[in-house]
Amino acid sequence: MSFSSFVFLWIFMPVVLLLCVLIRPPKYQNILLLIASLLFYAWGDPQYIVLLLLSILMNWALGLWLSRAGAEKKLVLILALVGNLGLLGYYKYANFAINTVNHILHTSIPMTTFGMPLGISFFTFSALTYIIDLYRGRFPVQKSPLKFALFLSFFPRLVSGPIARYSEMEAQLTERVMTKDGFAEGFRRFIYGLGKKVIIANVLAKPVDVIFAMDVTNMNGAQAWIGAAFYTLELYYDFSGYTDMAIGIGRMMGFDIPENFNYPYISKSITEFWRRWHITLGTWFREYLYIPLGGNRRGKIRTYVNLFVVFAVTGLWHGASWNFVGWGIYHGFFMIIERMGLKKVLDRSKVLSHIYAVLIFTIGWVFFRVGSVRFGFAMVLRMLLPWKYTISGVHMGQILTTQSVIAGVLAVLGCGLLQSVMQCGRCRKLTADWKNSMPEAVFCLCVLLCSIVMMASNTYNPFIYAKF
């Protein structure tokens, strides 16, 4: 079930919200929300609901054992890490490993028949935050299986995050309040997210799909740039739109879900980009991998090695494919050279540093999108040497429509440019006056109606990060 589906908009969400209003005590709301979350997951991936329940039961039991352990405390932690990463590795990376071995050793080991469970990377990482922080003594064990199950399966963030830590949700599982202001704020945030997904991301997806499905030898430089630029915008609006909807749904029910984006495309370096993009994932890797590896405390060389490892794993987290690993290493390379001195050079010019950052992450997204690394290099070559690739058998009119061009313009304005302008000088007052005003309410109504009309006329398009 997708947030941008009619089943969710007209049946699931209204029913759950209405029942939350009628069932006020959090104790009973938790039962309702757990049932709703399991139903939400089963609707999208029914064959793996048992796996989700197994993960919940395993981590709750390991948490109890860990809280009572003495000398064997580290052993319990290791068992928890092996159990969680083992499930993730088997379902997400087994075929990748088998395929790699078969390719290198020319063997014919059969592939597994299991697909990848929906949201496994997100609920596994959430479980690991609980176990690791419990081991570190940051909070008492959660003895209630109901509360722990809701933490791990809470439907707004189950499929594509944000990756909330247990310490951020602990108090809310026991005490929270639904208010009119919170409901209005959450509903407004949900509508903005829905508009991002349906009005912009889904429209941009059409030319992107056409370009990335082309024979690369038949692609010219202009088409390569349009494909890369539109995918860069599509990915941001798709994922940040999901996050806005997740935060909005949580806020309507009295939950505070952490932010995941802070206009990453206005960054002036790759270091800054990773402070603004997928914030909860970056925080997870910093606290649970980078710092335990030694962070930047053991000299420059060790720092560079740690960054390389973290970004290689970041790429692997996104997908069981070498193009994702390469994408992660690519970003790690630029993080390293910025630490080596490039960042000081970039700081001398805001314009050039911004152009540099946009160029780097846009090229990176090409390898994130393609199914073949060879295709990615060929496409980037056409982007960097457009004068050498000017001929294509595909007419631009077969790729671009008036709707997609308008969506592209709106996407560029809305990914940080317009927001930066509105925070300057007199515009700041206009921004403050706009929030919670009648004009904003009318605007949100228009976005909602437009989204509904477009959902009715377009084919279903799932969220990109749901497959990770």
Select which of 106, 318, 354, 395 is catalytic: 318
CA 255/CA 238 separation, integer angstroms: 22
CB atoms within 10 A of CB 425: 9
Q: Is 318 a catalytic residue?
A: yes
User: Cβ-count burial of 170 within 10 angstroms (0-12 exposed, 13-18 middle, 19+ buried)?
Assistant: middle
For residue 333, give both structure tokens.
Answer: 């390379």
- Angle of CA points 98, 99, 103, to nearest 5°: 115
Asked if residue 264 lies in contact with residue 362, where contact means CB atoms within 8 angstroms, the answer is: no
CA 5/CA 452 separation, integer angstroms: 9
CA 376/CA 366 separation, integer angstroms: 6
Q: How far is the CA of 412 from the CAs of 21, 236, 442, in angstroms?
A: 39, 11, 23
Q: Rg for the chain (alpha carbons), in Å?
A: 23
For residue 282, give both structure tokens.
Answer: 């970056």
CA 393/CA 16 separation, integer angstroms: 51
What sign does the dihedral 261-262-266-267 (CA atoms) show?
negative
Looking at the chain, how many residues does it have? 468
For residue 326, give both structure tokens.
Answer: 């390469």
Main-chain dihedrals φ then ψ at residue 454, nearest 5 degrees: -70, -35
Asked if residue 409 lies in contact with residue 240, where contact means CB atoms within 8 angstroms, the answer is: no
Helices (H), 426-468: 427-434, 438-457
**3-class DSSP state of 117:** coil
Q: Which amino acid is at 428?
A: R
Asked if residue 422 lies in contact with residue 431, where contact means CB atoms within 8 angstroms, the answer is: yes
For residue 33, give both structure tokens.
Answer: 């929300």
For residue 233, give both structure tokens.
Answer: 């915008």
> What are the residue numbers of the active site?
318
